[in-house]
Structure 1
Amino acid sequence: MNTEVVAATPLLPLIIYFVAIVFTTAFMLGGAYFLGQKHHAKAADEPFESGIVATGDVHIRFSVRFYLLAIFFVIFDMESVFLFAWSVALKESGWLGFIEALIFITVLIATLIYLAAIGALDWRTSRQRVVTPHKLR
């Protein structure tokens, strides 16, 4: 058996995949170029506007709660990545891995309960939190 053919065999799927990706990308970009609209408005060349004339100031002040929610999302998203990796290696980890994942999920749930208890997930302002008597009925 030829050793050059044996050494090149594992690369064949990778080469086919790379060619398919390049072809798909070229097809999508070419299709968008030929089938897309051909207008040249003044605002079309401005970044992030897509042809819509910009109004107002871009420096809008956001509440810090937006950033807290984004941080919570990133944290819980990364934890789901860890759980996905655990689920892939479920057979290899055995019961010990299952117990470790159960502890991990318990900590996640406890953290979520704590965040809800301290009001970190509550978006209402202090004025909105006040319950008026007519709303109790």
Structure 2
Amino acid sequence: MKVLFSEYSVIFFFFLFSFFLSALLFFLSFFLITKKTDQEKVSAYECGFNPFEDARSTFDIRFYLVAILFLIFDLEISFLFPWVLVINSVLLINFWSMIIFLIILTFGFIYEWQKGALEWE
């Protein structure tokens, strides 16, 4: 029983250390930083439009385009990361199938770039 708790004690101490360190940094930044609020700091910056207007107002389609492009390249990384972890034990066909996948995504990226999808104007 003592051996079981000694294995988890490192995780418990790491959790305590990270909790106290994050609390310390939070309270130090709360008390030491001067607070200057102005209109720019409290304005919306995530979506590019004011969130307190009518919900049915139109806005630029480029927001959707950027979100879709982000999802495409985010999915690429989610497929690539586990593959890199086991690259030494994969078969040759698995290696080349991932290379073909990356080539297709590269061609897609070049196509988007040439069409001007990454330009914000």
Check 1:122–1:51 CA distance in 2 against 1; reply closer, same or farther (3 A cut). Answer: closer
Aligned length: 109
Q: Which has the higher contact order (CA 8 A, sep 6+)?
A: 2
Amino acid at match of 1:113: I
Secondary structure of the corresponding residue to residue 31 of structure 1: helix
RMSD between superposed Cα atoms in Å: 2.9
- 4+ residue stretches of structure 1 with deviation over 6 A? none
TM-score, normalised relative to structure 1 = 0.63
TM-score, normalised relative to structure 2 = 0.70
Does the CA-based 8 Å contact 1:115-1:121 persist in structure 2? yes
User: Where does structure 2 lack aligned partners over 5 or more consecutive residues?
Assistant: 44-48
Does residue 1:121 correspond to 2:117, yes or no?
yes
Instruction: Report sequence identity in percent.
Output: 26
Quick check: which has more Rg, 1 or 2? 1
Match of 1:7 in 2: 4
Structure 2 distance, partners of 1:81, 1:64, is 26
User: Where does structure 1 lack aligned partners over 5 or more consecutive residues?
Assistant: 40-49, 126-137
Structure 2 distance, partners of 1:8, 1:34, is 38
Match of 1:53 in 2: 39
The Cα shift of 1:96 comes to: 3.0
Match of 2:75 in 1: 78
Alignment map for 1:1-137 (pairs within 5 Å): 4-37=1-34, 51-53=37-39, 58=50, 59=53, 62-116=59-113, 119=115, 121=117, 123=119
